[in-house]
Homo-oligomer: A and B are copies of this chain.
Amino acid sequence: MSAQKPSIPRGTRDFGPAVVARRNYIFGIIRRTFEKFGYAPLETPTLENLSVLTGKYGEEGDQLLFKVLNSGDFAKDVTPEDLAAENRSKRILPKVAEKGLRYDLTVPFARYVVMNRNTLVFPFKRYQIQPVWRADRPQRGRYREFYQCDADVVGTDSLLCEAEIVLMMSEVLTQLGLTEHTIKINHRRVLGAFYQALGGEGTEVDLFTAIDKLDKIGREGVEKELAGRGFSPAATERLFDLLGVGGDFAEKLERLLAAFVTAGVEPENADGYKGLQDLKRVYDYLVSFGFDKFENLEFDVTLARGLSYYTGCIFEIKINNVNMGSVSGGGRYDNLTGAFGLPGVSGVGFSFGVDRLYDCLDELNLFPPDAATTTRCLVANFDAESEAAVLPVLRQLREAGIPSELFPEAGKLKKQFQYADQKGIPYVLLQGSEERAAGQFKLKNLGTGEERTVSLEEVLAELAK
């Protein structure tokens, strides 16, 4: 095979050492927080059967699934008629591919729960940090291969779970230094009561979809969209009265309750009231935890979330001092596993988007300076004799847990310092013949430029810091 200029597929990325280290810094904080709250790790295969994936993400989602060709003579069942048909690729697909790449972490989780229903202990709290693949058109910030970080608990209706999700969100963001954030919470049933208050015009899905766009297209845009979908101007007017309700968390709860009564939302239907009660309960849990004022938590009645399977509380996080979409979202669902023949499994979960978190930290310069480095000390290599002499020292550094390396070739110190510099190694340790005779070392701090003549004990003490 002749030499070729290699490339990677559009929408995919190589992560070099510095970026991996920074990403691992983010993953580490998320993982430790999930575990601190009792969530345990799960990993599912990259390859899933298409029978598991197809039909779970809507028509568009099915298009965006990456399908994997069957092995061997994959085309053996394709007929000339298939090829001649107008929808040839759709006809041929089930004959040539039975597996696909994981599209999200929720469907594999549901599949896992169903397959292991008899051995799992419920409530089952799992987190999952793995890549997913979507054949989307790549663009800035949108990739075909990207990581999701999900935490879900299934098998309980307790709103303690919702309250702890708020705490986990808050802890991760605080630890990352993203203090300027808003955790938005709403409830699908509150939105359902809105729908009822509007007199049942149009459809509920159209209403939610329009509200979801408020951030992007503004009030006028939403009004236009609702008008096009069969909502009267009067109903839209009432909607914006409800969406405009002000006050803090408790005040909004009260005012909405009053508005529902005025609007004649039926108490025996109770959906909207139940939604408000749930939100109050979540808030009360946070107060019981000892958070008197949870200032970053906002009851945002305009939050709708796109996904159709949510039925209870819904969440979203916005970083206030960066111009970017939400970095996390989630909600409660009633029927995660119904498509796999196990109805009635309720749960609640949420997900962090690590690429967006990365971009936020990068923009705000919040990565700790040593997040990108692994090696702490480069031992310089003067010549064969010095090399042999410093090997026991190198061993001691490593035994003390200090990641260290000896430049593998004797030669120009300039090159060796460049190596340390470009790799972000903070210290260079030197022992020329003079130092060797005196049983000492030169230790240079590349950050400050300071160079000191020190003993081995001093080296170990300094580098262990």
Contacts and interface: CB of A to CB of B under 8 A. Distances in A.
A371 interface: no
Contacts of A322: none
Contacts of A24: 41
A321 interface: no
Interface string A57-97: 00000011011110111111011100100001100110011
A23 to B, nearest CB: 8
B374 A41 contact: yes
A83 B89 contact: no
Contacts of A7: 49, 52, 115
A418 interface: yes
Nearest to A400: B36
Task: Determine the main DSSP class of A at the interface with B.
Answer: mixed
A101 interface: yes
B21 A41 contact: yes
A91 to B, nearest CB: 9
B44 A73 contact: no
A375 B40 contact: yes
Contacts of A99: 9
Given A14-B44, A41-B24, A42-B14, A89 B74 contact: yes
Interface in A107-123: 111-112, 114-116, 121, 123
Given A67-B68, A69-B96, A290-B391, A398 B8 contact: no
Nearest to A67: B69
Interface stretch (A255-263, A293-301, A308-316, A336-344): A336-344
B37 A398 contact: yes
B76 A89 contact: yes
A39 interface: yes
A153 interface: yes
A9 B48 contact: yes
A45 interface: yes
Interface string A314-351: 00000000000000000000000011110000000000
The residue in A80, A158, A392 that gathers the most chain B C-beta atoms within 10 A of its C-beta is A158
Which of the listed residues A35, A338, A340, A405 has the most CB atoms from chain B within 10 Å of its own CB? A405
Interface residues of A, number: 110
B47 A69 contact: no
Nearest to A87: B73
A221 interface: no
A243 interface: no
A79 B55 CA distance: 30
A71 B55 CA distance: 17
B68 A69 contact: yes
A405 B4 CA distance: 55
A63 B72 CA distance: 7
B38 A1 contact: no
B409 A45 contact: no
A97 B135 CA distance: 13
B78 A83 contact: yes
A121 B375 contact: no
Nearest to A286: B391
A153 B409 CA distance: 13
Contacts of A48: 8-9
A283 interface: no
Contacts of A35: 374-375, 403
B68 A12 contact: no
A388 interface: yes
Contact of A97 (B55, B63, B69, B392): B69
Contacts of A422: 121
Nearest to A24: B41
A126 B404 CA distance: 14
Given A3-B339, A14-B112, A36-B403, 8 more contacts: A6-B51, A6-B52, A8-B45, A12-B47, A16-B116, A45-B145, A67-B68, A156-B408
11 contacts: A4-B341, A6-B340, A8-B115, A9-B98, A20-B41, A21-B41, A36-B404, A63-B71, A66-B68, A68-B69, A288-B392
